[in-house]
Amino acid sequence: MPYRSNPVDDNASPMRHAAVATAGMANRQGFVELDADGSAGDAVLAEECALALSYNGIAQAVMMISPHDLEDFVFGFSLSNGLIGAVDEIFDLVLSGEGGHWQAALQISSRAFHALTLQRRHLAGSSGCGLCGVESMALALPQLTPLSRSVLPPLGHLDDLRGHIDQAQQLARASGAMHAALYVDEQGAITLCREDIGRHNALDKLIGALYRQQIDYKRGFVAVTSRCSLELIHKAIRAQLPTLVSLSAPTALSVDWAVRHGLNLIHLPHSGAPRLYTPQPTRDLA
């Protein structure tokens, strides 16, 4: 049965969202260990589904995604890929489907749809690739508006962040095979966590949640558990995230783009002090 979303705020009816968001989170599958004993067991495995997105009736993308927090993903994907300029350009969203097949039908503003037709692309989106289907160098390396300079998070908010992230990742603890994107507020608390089999999907879900819940996200920072490649930098800049903290090292091109666009980029290694790549700190971290 199709599910119609309130485009901006679904706080008035959270159970409608939950019914869609929790569908097929995990699945138990049997296995046999390839050893001398051949012991049998079962494991909780992450679910995966195909989500087809259309804008004003025109098919745009098919993404492989974990089948929860789908609305957050649709909003975040639309914004972080430049398909809309603001969330209020989404007038309507209808989710339908079940199991491994879902559809998201969006109605967007005429301005956004006109811009979309000018840079049309079809994505056969794997869960691990962020630039699948891009048809030109201009789309792979787009012109983005630089961010306003922002202060760095207090150093204390990075203390034991890895441990706090492990605690927040409920799906990863159950099945593994999950990336996460998390929002850390101005008090240093993780207030949002979105997980997905795809690292880009996880960040899109978090961006969508921040905008849909109208959180003042510029007072905190976003952390990602995956490697920090250029596509994540693009998404962070488009969403106007002031600071991105990555548990894995960034690529050289990612650092270059973060420098040019004023994004605070911090790597949190397994051991040793946090590494600030860009920009230069605006105040003492102590």
Burial class (CB within 10 angstroms; exposed 0-12, middle 13-18, buried 19+) of 227: middle
Distance separating alpha carbons of residues 234 and 256, to the nearest angstrom: 12
Quote the tokens at residue 272.
């040793």
| Cα 175 versus chain centre, distance | 19
- Nearest CA to 207 out of 165, 166, 179, 235 is that of 235
Quote the tokens at residue 113.
């749809």
Q: Is the separation of the CB atoms in 115 and 87 below 8 Å?
A: no
Distance separating alpha carbons of residues 99 and 27, to the nearest angstrom: 11
- SS in 3 state form for 107-127? EECHHHHHHHHHCCCCEEECC
Judge whether 129 counts as a catalytic residue. Answer: yes
- Which of 129, 132, 193, 228 is an active site residue? 129
Q: Is the separation of the CB atoms in 277 and 255 below 8 Å?
A: yes
- Mapped onto helix, strand or coil, the DSSP state of residue 277 is strand
Distance separating alpha carbons of residues 148 and 264, to the nearest angstrom: 11
Length of the chain: 286
- Nearest CA to 188 out of 147, 235, 223, 228 is that of 223
| Cα 125 versus chain centre, distance | 14
Distance separating alpha carbons of residues 77 and 116, to the nearest angstrom: 13
Quote the tokens at residue 7.
């485009």
Q: Which residues are catalytic?
A: 129
